[in-house]
Structure 1
Amino acid sequence: MAALIGHLSGFDGNSESWTCYQERLEQYFLVNEIDDEKKVPALLTLLGEKTYGLLRNLTSPDKPSTQSYDHLCELLNKHLNPKPLIIAERFRFHKRNQAAGESVNDYVTTLRKLAEHCDFQASLNDTLRDRLVCGLKDEHIQRKLLSMEDLSLKKAVETAVAMETATRDAAELQSLTASVNKVEKRKPSRRVEHRPRQKQATANSTGKQNGKCIHCGKDNHASFKCRFKNAICHACNAHGHIKSICLKARARDVHAMNNNDVPVMSINSVTKGSSRKITITPRDRRQTLTNGSRYGLSCFSDVKRRVPEVFLEMLHWISPHQC
């Protein structure tokens, strides 16, 4: 015996109708050259347990094997596929509109299925055309179809599908164009250039600050070789620098110079002779002490205390109440 072509499982009413199953059964008999005498045994074998039990009840008290093939199919068709009410089927057909996201082709297929039991007969194509035009969701396509003369079902489907495709393609193109324009309008991000850091006003690899020692302020040696690196400042009592470069001491001097009660003189030139006489040329008392700061001469009282001979000479330049 030659091998059978194809495979036909048992009938399942949840997945297909009896009409569809019977059509597939006929094709199975035809392709495998099953003659009329073997159709009944083949049918009873292929139906499956549940459907065979149903058929046995329908033929009771006779057994299904005693009935003809056509009679068995008729019994199953009446039980599994009863004739629906035409008015109810037409009601469902005319209420069906295109759903959101449903294509025109899918909508036409659904309409054809609903019209199966509506008994439209010769008016089937015209009825399908009318339902298609009335049920379309896109009003633009709908208006186009309503304006066409001698509109047939085939022409209506072709026009609706073409316009639907054009609308979808245009929307995709616009979306792509908008995305490209959005990218072009973006401002280019600023590139951060990592430049080598300049020398800061801090101790560098040579231990100097702006070329000078951070402990004494001189520029003839490195900071780590300075003999004042462990010195204690007499102005702020901090370790690591001397009073001449102390920032706190300079701040106090500036504050003293801004005080009206403490007159300030500016030393224009300082000379030392063998007699250690110091000559001071007077300047505006509001000016900042420059060359004299190295000698610690920031006010008259300081001059009087540390350089008395200079103070006596300065008495010729100032009034007595300024000292």
Structure 2
Amino acid sequence: MASGSGLLGTINTFDPNNSDFTVFSERLSQFFIANKVNDKGQKKAILLNSLSEQCYVLLRNLCVPDLPNSKNYDDLLILLENHFSPVKSFFAQRMKFYSARRVLNESVVEWKARVKNMASKCGFGSELQIVMRDIFVIGINEEKIMDRLFEEDASKADVTIQTSLKLALSKESALNERTIRESFAINSNAKEIKQEVEVNFNRYRYNPKNPSNSFHKTYTKENSSWGATVRPKEQNKNYRQGVSHPNQSSKCTVCGRFNHFPKECSYKECICHKCGDVDVSTSGAPLHN
């Protein structure tokens, strides 16, 4: 329900499927205080108009044989509280509380808020502050932060959940800063290593005096990538184990190719179209350009 003219704040419609009645009741009380609503009749009217249709039907059923309008504000509030806030087992809630641990990516502040929320449902009474502090420290789930908190004397009255929070936040901040520094150092070292490797690689690659420099080898159809080591089997389809094969610098005097000997050339019996000779390699004639 939106606030009317001259009213402070707003009261949202209470839907039991999406809202907690305890929170709704607390906000409704603060709304009455802020707008100085003291009349019980006005409070009842605002309450009834702040309920969803589903919740209003439920309230009518709870009031049978009477109607909600015949009840006073306090009676209606008690009916709703008893229905939506049944008595829970403190042992069940305390089991959840004592077994709780800080989860991954949950900040220290978020963990403290969760501890307090769970503790509020356990009915600890005067022991509340002590047990909240203990679970906050024990369940912090970070060894370095826990080591720092364990240095404190738990028997001292000034070691509270608030002082433990300050220590945990300080340690958490220091750990985060250290992670950032280490990450920056790793990235810087990796960049320097990469640059050094590229310099050495290019120096080796473009050195024509290096006889083992594979980047100066001839590109062929069989060897389709630059810089790869050419194997005899890849150069000669007639490769046979135990037979010698020409290296990259041996040039066939018949056809000018590099992957076979002249005696193995497919064109050795062919007639040259320029000079009319057959098998120029046997005559020792130079290869025609």
**Equivalent runs, 1:272-311 vs 2, <5 Å:** none
Q: 1:185 to 1:3 in 2, by over 3 A?
A: same
Q: 1:115 to 1:237 in 2, by over 3 A?
A: closer
**Equivalent runs, 1:187-202 vs 2, <5 Å:** 187-188=197-198, 190=202
**Equivalent runs, 1:1-323 vs 2, <5 Å:** 2-36=5-39, 37-149=41-153, 150=156, 151-186=159-194, 187-188=197-198, 190=202, 237-239=271-273, 241-242=274-275, 248-249=279-280, 251-254=281-284
Equivalents in 1 of 2:146, 2:57: separation in Å? 51
2:198 aligned counterpart, secondary structure: coil
Q: Percent identity?
A: 29
Equivalents in 2 of 1:176, 1:15: separation in Å? 45
Equivalents in 2 of 1:112, 1:20: separation in Å? 16
The answer as to whether partners of 2:102 and 2:140 remain within 8 angstroms in 1 is yes
Match of 1:226 in 2: none
Unaligned ranges ≥5, structure 2 = 207-268
Shift of 1:168: 2.0
Q: What one-letter code is carried by the residue in structure 1 that aligns with 2:64?
A: S
The answer as to whether partners of 2:270 and 2:278 remain within 8 angstroms in 1 is no
Q: What one-letter code is carried by the residue in structure 1 that aligns with 2:283?
A: D
Could you say which structure has the larger radius of gyration?
1
Equivalents in 2 of 1:26, 1:157: separation in Å? 32
Shift of 1:4: 4.2
Equivalents in 2 of 1:117, 1:136: separation in Å? 20
Equivalents in 2 of 1:133, 1:18: separation in Å? 31
Structure 1 vs Structure 2 CA RMSD: 2.7
Shift of 1:130: 0.9
Shift of 1:33: 4.2
Shift of 1:153: 1.5
Q: Deviations over 1:44-91 (max 9, x none)?
A: 111111111111112211111122211211111111101222222222
Q: 1:72 to 1:242 in 2, by over 3 A?
A: same
Q: 1:248 to 1:142 in 2, by over 3 A?
A: same
Structure 1 length as normaliser, TM-score?
A: 0.58
Q: What one-letter code is carried by the residue in structure 2 that aligns with 1:66?
A: S
Q: What one-letter code is carried by the residue in structure 2 that aligns with 1:253?
A: S
